[in-house]
Structure 1
C-alpha cells in the first residue's frame, strides 16, 4: 500500500557508520517515534566455513548487524521515550539461534545475529521499566536474494507477519525471540 508523499520522509543512513547514525538522529531531534524497526542487515562474504573466515568481512558484518541496531537505539532513544508505543523491533534470523543450529558454518552471519539477540535482550531488561517493548524477530526463510527461490515464504508474507507481531506485542514480551508467525523462537 502506497503512502501519500506527505506521510513519507526519506533520509540517508548507514547504520555501520556512527557519523551517519548521529546525523540521522539529529535530523529527527524533537520528533517522537513510536516504533523503531532495525532491519538493516548484511550476510558477508562467502565462504564462511571453518578455515576460510575473512576477519575483515566479519568486522563489517558485526558493524551492521550487531552494532548498528544498538547505535540506532541509542541515537533515537530520546525520540522513543517521547513516543506512545515505545517499541524496538530488531530483525534477527533463525541462523542466530544457538538452540536451532544443526548445520554449523556461516560463522560471520550467525555470530552477528546471535550477538544482536543478546544486545536487544539486555536493552529490554534496561528499558522495560520505562514501558518499552524490545524484542527480536525471525522473519522466516524468505524468498529473497539471500533466502533463494526455495525459501518457504514471500517477502510480503514475512512483512505482514512482522507487522502483526509488532502491533500485538506488549511489554510482557520484552526480551523475547519471536517468529514472524507470532510464536517463540528458540534462543
Structure 2
C-alpha cells in the first residue's frame, strides 16, 4: 500500500472512541426508533466520496463479524483500507452483506440483499443509502416509533412498500447526507403524500 493511502486509512477515526462512538450509536438508534426523523451524527472523517454520517454509521455499527458491501459508486481502495483499519469488517458480496453502502441507484436491485428468515428475521441487511439532500417529503409514515404519522422523502415509494409487506422479514434503511441521518425500519408502513 503506498504511504499516502496508508495514512488515509489510519486517519479519520473517532477522536475519542468511547465517547464519540456512544454518541454516534445513540444518534443511529434514535433515528431507527423514530422513522423519518433526521438526527445529527458525526465523529468520523471517511475517505472522499463518503459522507460524515455514513462513515460514522460504519464505524459505529461494523466490526470483524459484520460483512460490508460497497456499491460501485463508493467502492475504493481508500475506503476499503479505512474500513479494514478502523472496524476490521470484511468486504463481501451484496448477497452476504450485513451492511451495504452506496447511492440508492447503485444499491439496486434490493432483492439481492438478505431479508432474514422466519426463524431469524434479524439476519437481514441494513442499507446505508447516500442521498444528495433530504428533499421535500413525498411519503407518509406510520407504525412503531411514530405518533400518528411522520413524513419523509423516499426515492421510490413502491420499493419501501414492498419491503414493509415482508415484515417481519425485509431490510432496514439508513439515509445519509452530510452529517445527517434518517432511518426507515422494515416495520414502517408507507403511503404517498397527498
Structure having the higher helix fraction is: 1
- Structure with the higher strand share, 1 or 2: 2
TM range (shorter): 0.3 to 0.5
More contact order relative to length (CA 8 Å, sep ≥ 6):
2
Structure 2-normalised TM-score? 0.33
